[in-house]
Structure 1
C-alpha cells in the first residue's frame, strides 16, 4: 500500500504520465475492443474523442493521488452514476480491463506499481458491473 509520500501518482510519473496512460488506454480500446469503444463519443475517424481521453487522464491523475483537476472541472466522479446508463456485464468489464492492461504494457508499467494498478483497476471495473451474464 502506498504511503502519502509514495503515491501511485508519483510512481507513474505525474500528470503527463496519467494523460499518456489514458491515451494508450483508448488507443488499445480503439484497436482491440470496438464494441467497448462504441460506447464512447467518437471523433470523425471513429476513435474515442479527445474530450473523453482528457477527462479520463485527469481522473486518473487524481485517483492515483495527484491534483484533483478532474473534480474541480467536472465534479465528483460518481463512477456508478456516470456509468449507470450503460449495460456493464462481465464481457464489457473484461474488455475494459484488457484495454487497461494493454495500455500499461505499452507504457512499460511494471513491478509493484503494476501489481497495485492491476488490482485496483480490476476492482473498479468489477464495481461498475450492473448486469449479470
Structure 2
C-alpha cells in the first residue's frame, strides 16, 4: 500500500469534518511514515534534541517514542484516537514538563518536522495548515526561557 500524500494541486485547502488533515495526508501508514522521517531528520541533523529522547542501541530515537508520537499524531490530525485509548489524554505540557523546551529546542523540533514534511512531499494548503499548527503547538510547549 502506497503512503503517497493525497494532496491535490489546489493550494487553498482547509480542513473540514469531511476532509481532515489525517485523510488528506493519507491515513495511518502515511502518518507513521511522516513520523519516521521526522525522527530520522532529528537523528541526522538535531543530535542535541534527539538526546532528550530515549535512544536505542544505535543512538537513534527509540521505536517506542516513534510509535507513541505516531499514535498521537494520528489522533491530532483527525484520525482514530489510538493514543488516548492506550495512554490516556495527551496532556502535552505535563508530558513534556521534565524536558527543558526553550526556543532553541522548539526551533530544532520545527526544523526536523519541516525536513520530514519535505521528505514526504507535503505541499500546498495541507503544508501551510500543518506548519501553522506545529508552530503553535511547539511554541505552547516552551517551558524555559531562551
The TM tier, using the shorter chain, reads over 0.9
Please name the residue that 2:74 is paired with: 61
Map 1:1-133 → 2, pairs under 5 A: 1-133=14-146
- Counterpart CA distance in 1 for 2:105 and 2:143 is 11
Whole-angstrom distance in 1 between the partners of 2:33 and 2:110: 17
Which string of whole-angstrom CA distances, capped at 9 and with x for unpartnered residues, describes residues 22-77 of structure 1?
Answer: 10000000000000000000000000000100111111110000000011011110
Question: C-alpha distance in 2, partners of 1:59/1:19?
Answer: 10
More helix by share: 1
> How far apart, CA to CA, are the structure 2 residues paired with 1:128 and 1:32?
21
Matches of 2:43 and 2:16 in 1, distance apart? Answer: 35
1:65 match: secondary structure:
coil
TM-score (norm 1): 0.99
Unaligned runs of 5+ residues in structure 1 are none
Scaled by the length of structure 2, what TM-score is found? 0.90
Q: Deviation of residue 128 (structure 1)?
A: 0.2
Structure 2 unpaired stretches of 5+: 1-13
Runs of 4+ in 1 over 4 A off after TM superposition: none
